[in-house]
Amino acid sequence: MGDNVVVVALECTNCVGKGRYHIRKNKKVQRDKLELKKYCKHCKKHCLYKETK
């Protein structure tokens, strides 16, 4: 991976602490924190996932 690419964790906003995804992010292209709608197997529906530290 390049110097600008990092692995970040996305955490479900509904069931905090259970549902997580790990994805790669380019710091030069995407500077702010990611917010994506993804499927949560604990909630059994599509939820908003936010980037954690």
pTM as predicted:
0.82
The answer to whether residue 1 scores a pLDDT higher than 70 is: no
**pLDDT at site 53:** 77
The answer to whether residue 32 scores a pLDDT higher than 80 is: yes
How does residue 2 score in pLDDT terms, banded at 50, 70 and 90? confident
**pLDDT at site 28:** 92
Give the whole-angstrom CA distance, residue 29 versus residue 42. Answer: 31
Domain positions in the chain are 5-51
Q: Which CATH class is domain 5-51?
A: mainly beta
For 11-29, the pLDDT digits (tens) are: 999 987 788 999 999 999 9
